[in-house]
Amino acid sequence: MSLAKYPELSLDRWAKTFGPIYTFTIGNQLFLVLSDPYMVKDILVTNGAIFSSRKDMFVKVQTILRYRGITSTPYNEQWRKHRRLANNLLVPHSVATYSRWLEMESNDMVQGLMRDGKAGAISIDPRPYASRVSLNAILRLVYGTRTTSLDDPTVAESLRISRELMNTTGSVSNLVDFFPILQKLPNRMTTRGRNLHRDILAFNRPYIADIEARLKRGEDVADCLAKTLLLTREEEQLDDLDIEILCGAMLIGGVETTASVLQWFMAHIAGYPDVQAKAHAELDNVCGRDRLPSVDDEQDLPYIRAIAKEVVRVHNPFWIGTPHYSTDDFSYHGYDIPKGTVIIVNSWAMHFDPVRHPDPYTFKPERYLGDNLTFAESARLADPLHRDQWAFGAGRRMCPGMALAERQILLGIAYILWAFDVETIPDDPVDLREYDGVAGRSPAPFRVRMTPRNEDVARILDI
């Protein structure tokens, strides 16, 4: 078992051997691994003042993002400012205003699957469609624009950049961060980091320049992150790199998670016709067959929400998210945690904990029926043992885009199940064990058949 290739499995095996709290060292760095939800809450939430920073990673923080990121930047005033600027677009009341165009993007995804899959006559790889729907949602948020087809070069380049960031910044696989001598020598990871920094700027600068030129001409520009940053640059003391990296980081962070969850959903659901049947019955009861689901239906679709939670539990896109970092010495139940320790939340162990999730390796959405809590509401439960999943982090550094991601995921799942029976190909089974990616976990290439549930689907989709 390789720590570099499958770190989540190694951490889980060590937790079974050494217990829910243990340490290991890579190079000059001490790691503390937490596999118990109460310990995670005690350390990252209750004592968040000490455990809310990030390690000053050489590749990700210094080389690629140049201290302008949000999720990876050390806990300081610059991080607070950048997070505040991004949060204005990501809080739930803002996300609520995006509902109609998020519905439109889900509709566009289902249209593409219907059209390119020839209404179920041929099998199809649905992964690019999930990636594009996620990309379009974030492009609208950041730049007020969208792509019009999978063939748009923007799709391939943005997804390449997103995946390259994930693959160059693995939490325990990038040795350059933990062996300072390597930072002074030419090496492949540092070169990749510098090239990626260049590519992020090259991708985002034209969008920013176009919006800036339109603002100077007095044209009407849709509200978006880039517009906000340009109009407040003097007030917020932002330089060009602040704006370019903040926009780029939002694009990268906003695409990978939701795209991966929707891809895993389509890979997994194909093997569970019984789950599809229950979802179909719920959707038909709430929406009928004469209209598509909408955000207004969310509270009436508890089984759809349960499916979303179960997919995220079984297929966390980032089993090892961005680790926390201690800024002071701390003693916890007899364990001395020195300043400068990297804290890893072992989400694999908690997602497959048989106490919290009986029969944890079985895909069973029913385990979530009855709570109907949003991801954020569940994350704030007083008893962390009852939290539905840990994919979006914990404490003060929890993912700021959780509300947007959840809405995209719920809509995507609801639209797909309203429209299709998703079926495996008898001679080409879906492999749920293989991953595509190093840090980010997406399913390996697969094909399924997506058959319209009846003849009215094409009419409602306006195809």
The tokens describing 87, both together, are 């949060």
| 415 located within any domain | yes
| 2 located within any domain | no
How many structural domains is the chain composed of?
1
Per-residue pLDDT tens over the stretch 406-438:
999 999 999 999 999 999 999 888 988 877 766
Per-residue pLDDT tens over the stretch 353-396:
999 999 999 999 999 998 889 999 999 999 999 999 999 999 98
Predicted local distance difference test score (pLDDT) of residue 26: 92
Predicted local distance difference test score (pLDDT) of residue 221: 95
The tokens describing 450, both together, are 């997506």
Predicted local distance difference test score (pLDDT) of residue 158: 94
The tokens describing 33, both together, are 């691994």
Predicted local distance difference test score (pLDDT) of residue 440: 66
Q: 149 vs 81, which has greater pLDDT?
A: 149
| 202 located within any domain | yes
CB atoms inside a 10 Å sphere around CB 93? 7
Predicted local distance difference test score (pLDDT) of residue 370: 87
Per-residue pLDDT tens over the stretch 255-288:
888 999 999 999 999 999 999 999 999 999 999 9
Per-residue pLDDT at 1 exceeds 50: no
CB 109 within 8 A of CB 412: yes
| 168 located within any domain | yes
| 442 located within any domain | yes
29-34 and 342-345 strand pairing = parallel
Q: How far is CA 242 from the centre of its chain?
A: 22
Those residues with Cβ within 8 angstroms of residue 350's Cβ, 6 or more apart along the chain or in another chain: 35, 36, 37, 40, 356, 390
- Range(s) of the domain holding residue 264: 7-461
Q: How far is CA 236 from CA 76, 207, 264, 266, in A?
A: 15, 20, 40, 42
Predicted local distance difference test score (pLDDT) of residue 81: 85
Across the range 212-228, mean pLDDT stands at 96
Across the range 205-234, mean pLDDT stands at 96
Predicted local distance difference test score (pLDDT) of residue 5: 67
Across the range 52-79, mean pLDDT stands at 89
Predicted local distance difference test score (pLDDT) of residue 174: 72
Predicted local distance difference test score (pLDDT) of residue 191: 94
- Please choose, from the candidates 310, 305, 420, the residue with its C-alpha nearest in 3D space to the C-alpha of residue 370: 305
Predicted local distance difference test score (pLDDT) of residue 93: 86
| 151 located within any domain | yes
Per-residue pLDDT at 3 exceeds 70: no
Predicted local distance difference test score (pLDDT) of residue 7: 86
Per-residue pLDDT tens over the stretch 293-309:
999 999 999 999 999 99
Per-residue pLDDT at 89 exceeds 50: yes
Percent of the chain with pLDDT over 70: 97
Per-residue pLDDT tens over the stretch 312-331:
999 998 888 889 999 999 99
Per-residue pLDDT tens over the stretch 8-43:
899 999 999 999 999 999 999 999 999 999 999 999
Q: 168 vs 328, which has greater pLDDT?
A: 328
How does DSSP classify residue 96?
H
The tokens describing 129, both together, are 């469609």
What span, in angstroms and rounded, lies between the C-alpha atoms of 310 and 149? Answer: 30
Q: For the chain, give the mean pLDDT.
A: 92
- Please choose, from the candidates 316, 263, 288, the residue with its C-alpha nearest in 3D space to the C-alpha of residue 447: 263
Those residues with Cβ within 8 angstroms of residue 395's Cβ, 6 or more apart along the chain or in another chain: 44, 45, 48, 51, 52, 324
| 156 located within any domain | yes
Give the CATH number for residue 137. 1.10.630.10
CB 137 within 8 A of CB 408: yes
| 143 located within any domain | yes
Predicted local distance difference test score (pLDDT) of residue 171: 54
Is pTM, for the whole model, over 0.85? yes
pLDDT grade, residue 238 (50/70/90)? very high
